[in-house]
C-alpha cells in the first residue's frame, strides 16, 4: 500500500525524531528500511539511521537534510561464505565480540545519544540492544522484521555452540522491552514479541518494468519464472534440473562463484537489483510509526517483560517440536516456563562484573554458591528436595517403595543448615571402550542423563536418626555418635533397599580405616558405590569424618545400559561429600579416587574413562584421554554437522560380569607374552661373553625391542610391529593353569586368573592395539573438512570397532541387531538416492549388551531414522529401546550448589 496525503501522514501532524536501528546482517534490511525512512522524511520528520551498512544504500535513494546516518555496528548477523552457507559457531562468537562483551558501554552510549537527539521513537530492524537502550532511556520502541535473532541464534546454539546459550536469553529479553512488532510476510516464529501487527511486504521501488527486466535477462514473457533468494540459513541444497516443471526457469540470488547450476537455473550477479525481479509495492509502515511516536497505543495488551520473555522461550521452542518427540530442543529452553515464573530477567542478569554469582533465590531455596546453568534436571531435583517436608498422601501413591523413600528422605535434612548438591552425568562411549585399561586414547561424551546427590553434615547431637538407628545407638549406651544415612531414589529399579545407614565408626579398624577387602564383603549387599567413596577418601587422603552425614541420591542414568550409571553415582557422591567437608579435589583426582571405589570395593575391574568423563567432561564435546593412567589431552568439539545417539539394546550390561573380566585378563596375558617374546628376541640379539652376536639386528630394531620388552601398555605397540613380530606367536586361547606355570602372573592388580578356566588371548590382545589406532584416526577425521566421505570414514571406524568386540566375545544379539538396523537404514534405497544421514554404529563400554553408539548427520531426517530403528527393534524383540541424545556438563564444570531454605519458610 502506498502512502499519500489522504492517509493523513503529513508534516503538519508534528515534527518527530525517529532513531532507526538497522542490523549489520547484509543489505536486505537496510534496503527495506530505505522505503520506510523515505516516507517518514516526506512526512516532515527527522530520521537518524544507526547502521553498519554503507551510506550509499540510503543516500542513493534519499537526498534530504532530514536524513542522518550514524555508522555503528551493534549486531553482526550471521557469518556466511555465501547466501546459503552459514558458519553457526563463528556467528555466535562474532555476536559475542560485537554485542555481548561491550554491552555495558554500548547501552551507556546509546542511552546518552538517544537523549541527545530527543528521539520520539526507536525503531529496530532488528537490533536487540536498541530495544533495551530505548527502555532505559524512557523512550518507546517498536521492531520491524520477519525474523528475530533469538530464534535464529537458538538453532545455531543447538547445532554448534551450546556454551553460547546466554546470547539467546539476552536477545529475547532485549526484545521483550519492545512495544510491539510490525511483522512482515515470510516470517519465522517470533514469540519474543507478545503484540504483533501484520503488514504487507516492504520493498524498494522498481528501476525497470517487468518487461524491461525480462528483456535484459533474455527471458521471454511466456516463460514461467521463479526466484530463489534465501540467505542467512544453511540450506544443504543441491539444485537439480528435475526440480522445476518443464518450461520454468529459476533465478538464483547469492550463489557462490564456484557453485555449478543446472541449465534451467540462472545465476544472478551479486549486485543484481532484486526489486526489479519481484512484484513490489510500498506499504503503510510510516503511518504506524508516526502514530506510535505521538502516543497512540497499538499494543493489544500489556504484559511484563518477564511474561514476554517466558513466552519467547517456551512458545518459541514449542513451535519447533516434532509430534511425539522433541528434536534438538535444549533443556534450558523446554524448562524455561518454570524458571521464569518468578524471575524478572534472564540468567545473565544474575552475574556480577567479575563473573561470579551473587546469591540467587529460587522459589524454595537460596543458592549461596554455584549456578543452575539452566539444567532442568537440577531444577527438578531442587524441587523434589523442597517437597520433602510436605504431607505425603499415601492414597495418591500406589508405589509403596516410593512412599518409603519419600518418608525416609523427609527426615533426612535439617532445613536450617546448608545442603550441598553435586551433579555428574553418565557417558556415551564414542570410541575407545575396553581399550582403556590397555592405555588407549578414548573419546567419550557426557550424556544428558545425570545423578544428583545432596549431602548435609550435622553434629551427632543435632542429627535426626531413623528409629532403628536410634535404637542401635541406645543399645550401645555411648550417646550420640556420627552416623551415615543414605536414601536412594528409584532403588526399586535395581532391587536395592531405598535406605542405608551405618555408624561412621564402623569404617575404622582401630586407628586405621578398614581394608578394601573387608569393605567389599561388608558392603556387598547394599550401596557400595556411595559408601565406598567415604572409605576411599579416608584411606587415600586421610580424611576423618567427625560429623554425621545425610545423603540423598537421585540418578536418572539408567542402570545396566552401558552408559556408566555407577560412575555417575560415584562421582556425584564424592563431589558432594568433598564440597560439604571443604575438600578441594580436582575433577581428575576425583575420577581416579572413584575408580578405586569400582576396582577395590564394588569389585568391577574397569578402567578410568567412565569416571573421567563424568568428572571432566563438557557438553557437546568429546573428552579425549590417554588412559596411561588418565591424561586428558583435550576436549574435541563435535562438529555442527555431526551428531551422536545412544540406543539401548535392553540387554543388561555389567562391567563386573565374567565376560568383561575374562577379556581383560586375556589382554593382560597377551601383553605378558609379548614382553616375554621381545625379551627372548633381545637376549638372542645382544653380544655374548665371547663377543658373538647370535641374531643380527639393526640398532633401531634393538631399541624397539627393548621398549617392547618393557611394554607398560598394549596400546603403545603399533599395529605394524604387532603384525610383523607378535600376532602369530600368541595363542588363540590358554588354560589359566598353563599360563601361570610359564608366566607366574599377568600383572593386573584388579583381576584374578582362574586356573581351571580357558581364556581367549589373541582377540583381546588384538583389540586395544587396533582400537587405539582407530581412535586416533577418528579424532583426526573429526577436525577434517565436512564431507560425505568424512562421515563415511567415521562410520566405518565404528563398525570395525563393533566387530572387534564380537571377536573378543563381548557381542550380543541385541546390539548386533541394532547395528544391522543402522546398516539397513544407511544402505537402503532412500538413503542411496539422497545424501546419507546415518553412517555407523558400535557396541559401547564393557560390551555384552548395553547401548549402541550411532553416528549420523545432524539433521531432522537422522532423528526420524533413529526413531524408526527404535520401533523396528521393538517390532523384532518386543522391547522399546531407550534413546540417549543430548549432552551435559561433567561434575567439574558443574561445580556444586550450596543451598539453604529461606528463613521465612517453616
- Strand bridging mode 838-843 / 196-198: unpaired
Q: How confident is the model at residue 285 (pLDDT cuts 50, 70, 90)?
A: low
Cβ-defined contacts of 134-139 (< 8 Å, 24+): 134/19, 134/177, 135/177, 136/107, 136/111, 137/110, 137/111, 139/19, 139/114
Query: For residues 154 and 621, what is the distance between their CA atoms, to the nearest angstrom?
Result: 18
CA distances from 405 to 395, 399, 409, 490 (A): 16, 10, 6, 8
User: What pLDDT does residue 324 have?
Assistant: 36
- Give 577-600 pLDDT, tens digit per residue: 999 999 999 999 999 999 998 888
Query: For residues 533 and 598, what is the distance between their CA atoms, to the nearest angstrom?
Result: 10
User: What pLDDT does residue 840 have?
Assistant: 97
Mean pLDDT of 779-790: 92
Q: What is the dihedral of CA 890, 894, 895, 900, to 10 degrees?
A: -140
Residues 456 and 580: beta-carbon distance below 8 Å: yes
Report the Cα 729 to chain-centroid distance in Å.
45
Residue 13 DSSP symbol: T
C-alpha cell at 511: 586407628
* Higher-scoring residue by pLDDT: 569, 246: 569
Mean pLDDT of 43-49: 94
Q: How confident is the model at residue 199 (pLDDT cuts 50, 70, 90)?
A: confident
- Give 736-774 pLDDT, tens digit per residue: 999 999 999 999 988 999 999 999 999 999 999 999 999
SS3 110: helix
Helix axes 658-685, 699-709, angle to 10 degrees: 140
- Give 639-654 pLDDT, tens digit per residue: 989 999 999 998 876 6
Predicted TM-score (pTM) of the model is 0.61
Across 253-372, where does the E strand assignment appear? 265-267, 360-361, 366-369
- pLDDT averaged over every residue in the chain: 81
Q: Which of 51-55, 402-406, 722-726, 830-834 comes out lowest in average pLDDT?
A: 830-834
- Does the pLDDT value for residue 103 go beyond 90? yes
The single residue listed with the C-alpha cell 532488528 is 126
User: What pLDDT does residue 629 have?
Assistant: 84
Query: For residues 797 and 217, what is the distance between their CA atoms, to the nearest angstrom?
Result: 51
C-alpha cell at 7: 492517509
User: What pLDDT does residue 343 have?
Assistant: 33
Share of the chain above pLDDT 70, in %: 78
Mean pLDDT of 31-53: 89
User: What pLDDT does residue 455 have?
Assistant: 96
Q: Which of 405-409, 446-450, 558-562 comes out lowest in average pLDDT?
A: 405-409
- Give 347-384 pLDDT, tens digit per residue: 322 322 233 333 445 567 888 999 888 898 999 899 88
Query: For residues 330 and 162, what is the distance between their CA atoms, to the nearest angstrom?
Result: 9
* Higher-scoring residue by pLDDT: 170, 210: 170
User: What pLDDT does residue 849 have?
Assistant: 87
Share of the chain above pLDDT 90, in %: 43
User: What pLDDT does residue 479 have?
Assistant: 72
Query: For residues 874 and 405, what is the distance between their CA atoms, to the nearest angstrom?
Result: 32
SS3 127: coil
* Higher-scoring residue by pLDDT: 450, 492: 450
- Does the pLDDT value for residue 451 go beyond 70? yes
- Does the pLDDT value for residue 683 go beyond 90? no
- Does the pLDDT value for residue 655 go beyond 70? no
User: What pLDDT does residue 644 have?
Assistant: 96
Q: How confident is the model at residue 537 (pLDDT cuts 50, 70, 90)?
A: very high
User: What pLDDT does residue 310 have?
Assistant: 52
- Give 514-533 pLDDT, tens digit per residue: 998 888 887 765 555 567 88
User: What pLDDT does residue 692 have?
Assistant: 47
Mean pLDDT of 827-832: 71
Residues 424 and 572: beta-carbon distance below 8 Å: yes
Query: For residues 89 and 641, what is the distance between their CA atoms, to the nearest angstrom?
Result: 11
Q: Which of 377, 429, 610, 659 is catalytic?
A: 610
End-to-end CA distance of the chain: 63
Q: Which of 29-43, 120-134, 333-347, 539-553 comes out lowest in average pLDDT?
A: 333-347
Query: For residues 506 and 483, what is the distance between their CA atoms, to the nearest angstrom?
Result: 10
How many Å is the Cα radius of gyration of the chain? Answer: 33
- Does the pLDDT value for residue 308 go beyond 70? no
| Catalytic-residue membership of 610 | yes
User: What pLDDT does residue 727 have?
Assistant: 95
* Higher-scoring residue by pLDDT: 277, 506: 506
User: In this structure, is the dihedral angle defined by the CA atoms of residues 11, 13, 14 and 16, taken in order, positive or negative?
Assistant: negative
Q: How confident is the model at residue 404 (pLDDT cuts 50, 70, 90)?
A: low
SS3 770: helix
C-alpha cell at 678: 621381545
Mean pLDDT of 603-625: 90
| Cis amide linkage into residue 629, ω under 30° from 0 | yes
User: What pLDDT does residue 447 have?
Assistant: 96
Residues 770 and 719: beta-carbon distance below 8 Å: yes
CA distances from 541 to 456, 522, 534, 838 (A): 20, 21, 10, 47
Query: For residues 30 and 25, what is the distance between their CA atoms, to the nearest angstrom?
Result: 9
Q: Which of 384-398, 434-448, 641-655 comes out lowest in average pLDDT?
A: 384-398
C-alpha cell at 106: 554500548
Query: For residues 775 and 264, what is the distance between their CA atoms, to the nearest angstrom?
Result: 46
Residues 65 and 31: beta-carbon distance below 8 Å: no
User: What pLDDT does residue 314 have?
Assistant: 47
The values of phi and psi at residue 112, to 5°, are: -65, -45
Q: How confident is the model at residue 123 (pLDDT cuts 50, 70, 90)?
A: very high
Mean pLDDT of 264-293: 65
Residues 172 and 160: beta-carbon distance below 8 Å: no
**Nearest C-alpha neighbor of 594 from the set 567, 576, 628, 614:** 567
Amino acid at each position: 500500500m502506498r502512502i499519500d496525503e489522504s492517509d493523513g501522514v503529513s508534516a503538519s501532524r508534528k515534527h518527530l525524531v525517529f532513531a532507526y536501528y538497522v542490523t549489520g546482517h547484509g543489505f536486505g534490511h537496510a534496503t527495506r528500511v530505505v522505503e520506510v525512512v523515505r516516507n517518514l522524511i516526506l512526512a516532515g520528520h527527522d530520521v537518524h539511521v544507526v547502521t553498519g551498512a554503507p551510506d550509499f544504500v540510503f543516500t542513493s535513494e534519499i537526498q534530504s537534510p532530514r536524513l542522518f546516518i550514524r555508522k555503528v555496528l551493534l549486531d553482526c548477523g550471521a557469518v556466511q561464505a555465501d547466501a546459503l552457507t552459514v558458519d553457526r559457531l563463528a556467528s555466535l562468537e562474532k555476536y559475542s565480540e560485537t554485542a555481548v562483551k561491550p554491552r555495558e558501554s554500548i547501552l551507556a552510549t546509546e542511552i546518552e545519544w538517544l537523549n541527545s537527539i530527543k528521539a520520539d521513537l526507536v525503531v529496530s530492524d532488528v537490533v536487540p540492544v536498541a530495544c533495551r537502550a530505548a527502555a532505559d532511556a524512557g523512550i518507546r520502541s517498536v521492531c520491524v522484521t520477519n525474523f528475530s535473532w533469538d530464534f535464529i541464534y537458538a538453532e545455531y546454539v543447538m547445532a554448534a555452540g551450546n556454551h553460547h546459550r546466554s546470547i539467546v536469553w539476552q536477545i529475547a529479553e532485549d526484545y521483550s522491552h519492545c512495544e510491539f512488532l510490525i511483522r512482515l510476510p515470510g516470517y519465522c516464529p517470533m514469540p519474543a514479541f507478545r503484540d504483533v501487527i501484520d503488514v504487507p511486504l516492504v520493498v524498494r521501488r522498481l528501476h525497470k518494468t517487468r518487461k524491461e527486466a525480462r528483456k535484459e535477462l533474455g527471458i521471454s514473457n511466456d516463460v514461467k519464472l521463479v526466484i530463489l533468494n534465501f540467505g542467512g540459513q544453511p540450506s544443504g541444497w543441491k539444485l537439480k534440473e528435475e526440480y522445476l516443471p518443464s518450461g520454468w526457469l529459476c533465478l538464483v540470488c547469492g550463489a557462490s562463484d564456484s557453485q555449478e547450476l543446472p541449465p534451467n537455473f540462472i545465476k544472478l550477479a551479486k549486485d543484481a537489483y532484486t526489486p526489479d525481479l519481484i512484484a513490489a509495492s510500498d506499504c503503510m509502515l510510516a503511518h504506524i510509526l508516526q502514530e506510535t511516536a505521538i502516543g497512540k497505543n497499538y499494543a493489544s495488551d500489556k504484559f511484563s517483560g518477564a511474561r514476554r520473555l517466558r513466552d519467547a522461550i517456551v512458545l518459541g521452542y514449542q513451535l519447533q517440536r516434532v509430534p511425539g518427540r522433541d528434536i534438538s530442543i535444549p533443556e534450558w529452553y523446554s524448562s524455561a516456563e518454570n524458571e521464569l515464573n518468578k524471575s524478572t530477567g534472564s540468567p545473565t542478569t544474575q552475574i556480577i562484573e567479575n563473573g561470579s554469582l551473587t546469591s540467587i533465590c529460587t522459589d524454595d531455596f537460596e543458592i549461596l554458591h554455584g549456578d543452575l546453568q539452566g539444567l532442568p534436571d537440577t531444577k527438578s531435583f531442587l524441587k523434589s528436595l523442597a517437597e520433602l517436608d510436605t504431607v505425603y498422601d499415601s492414597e495418591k501413591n500406589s508405589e509403596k517403595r516410593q512412599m518409603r523413600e519419600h518418608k525416609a528422605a523427609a527426615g533426612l535434612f535439617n532445613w536450617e543448615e546448608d545442603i550441598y548438591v553435586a551433579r555428574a552425568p553418565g557417558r556415551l562411549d564414542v570410541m575407545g571402550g575396553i581399550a582403556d585399561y590397555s592405555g588407549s586414547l578414548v573419546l567419550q561424551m557426557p550424556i544428558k542423563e545425570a545423578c544428583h546427590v545432596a549431602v548435609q553434615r550435622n553434629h551427632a547431637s543435632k542429627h535426626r536418626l531413623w528409629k532403628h538407628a536410634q535404637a542401635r545407638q541406645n543399645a550401645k549406651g555411648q550417646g550420640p555418635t556420627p552416623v551415615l544415612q543414605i536414601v536412594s531414589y528409584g532403588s526399586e529399579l535395581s532391587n536395592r533397599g531405598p535406605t542405608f545407614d551405618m555408624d561412621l565408626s564402623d569404617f575404622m579398624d582401630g586407628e586405621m580405616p578398614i581394608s578394601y577387602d573387608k569393605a567389599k564383603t561388608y558392603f556387598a549387599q547394599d550401596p557400595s558405590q556411595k559408601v565406598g567413596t567415604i572409605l576411599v577418601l579416608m584411606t587415600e587422603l586421610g580424611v576423618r569424618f567427625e560429623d554425621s552425614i545425610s545423603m540423598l541420591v537421585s540418578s536418572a542414568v539408567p542402570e545396566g545400559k552401558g552408559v556408566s550409571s555407577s560412575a555417575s553415582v560415584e562421582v556425584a557422591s564424592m563431589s558432594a561429600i568433598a564440597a560439604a567437608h571443604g575438600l578441594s579435589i580436582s575433577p581428575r583426582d576425583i575420577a581416579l579416587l572413584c575408580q578405586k571405589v569400582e576396582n577395590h570395593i564394588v569389585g568391577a575391574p574397569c578402567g578410568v574413562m567412565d569416571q573421567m568423563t563424568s568428572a571432566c567432561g563438557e557438553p557437546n564435546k568429546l573428552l579425549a584421554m590417554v588412559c596411561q593412567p588418565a591424561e586428558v589431552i583435550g576436549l574435541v568439539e563435535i562438529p555442527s554437522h555431526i551428531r551422536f545417539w545412544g540406543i539401548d539394546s535392553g540387554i543388561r550390561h555389567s562391567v563386573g560380569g565374567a565376560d568383561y573380566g575374562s577379556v581383560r585378563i586375556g589382554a593382560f596375558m597377551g601383553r605378558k607374552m609379548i614382553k616375554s617374546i621381545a625379551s627372548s628376541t633381545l637376549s638372542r640379539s645382544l653380544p655374548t661373553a665371547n663377543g658373538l652376536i647370535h641374531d643380527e639386528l639393526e640398532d633401531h630394531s634393538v631399541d624397539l625391542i627393548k621398549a617392547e620388552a618393557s611394554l607398560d601398555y598394549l596400546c603403545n605397540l603399533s599395529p605394524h610391529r604387532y603384525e610383523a613380530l607378535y600376532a602369530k606367536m600368541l595363542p588363540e586361547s590358554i588354560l589359566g593353569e598353563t599360563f601361570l606355570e610359564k608366566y607366574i602372573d599377568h600383572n593386573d592388580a584388579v583381576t584374578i586368573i582362574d586356573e581351571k578356566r580357558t581364556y581367549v588371548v589373541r582377540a583381546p590382545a588384538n583389540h586395544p592395539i587396533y582400537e587405539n589406532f582407530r581412535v586416533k584416526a577418528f579424532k583426526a577425521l573429526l577436525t577434517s573438512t565436512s564431507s560425505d566421505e568424512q562421515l563415511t570414514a567415521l562410520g566405518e571406524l565404528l563398525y570395525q570397532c563393533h566387530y572387534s568386540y564380537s571377536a573378543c566375545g563381548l557381542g550380543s544379539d541385541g546390539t548386533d541387531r541394532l547395528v544391522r538396523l543402522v546398516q539397513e537404514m544407511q544402505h537402503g534405497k532412500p538413503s542411496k538416492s539422497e545424501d546419507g544421514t546415518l553412517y555407523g554404529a558400535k557396541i559401547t563400554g564393557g560390551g555384552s549388551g548395553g547401548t549402541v553408539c550411532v553416528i549420523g548427520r545432524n539433521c531432522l531426517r537422522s532423528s526420524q531414522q533413529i526413531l524408526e530403528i527404535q520401533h523396528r527393534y521393538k517390532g523384532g524383540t518386543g522391547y522399546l529401546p531407550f534413546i540417549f541424545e543430548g549432552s551435559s556438563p561433567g561434575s567439574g564444570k558443574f561445580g556444586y550448589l550450596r543451598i539453604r531454605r529461606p528463613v521465612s519458610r517453616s
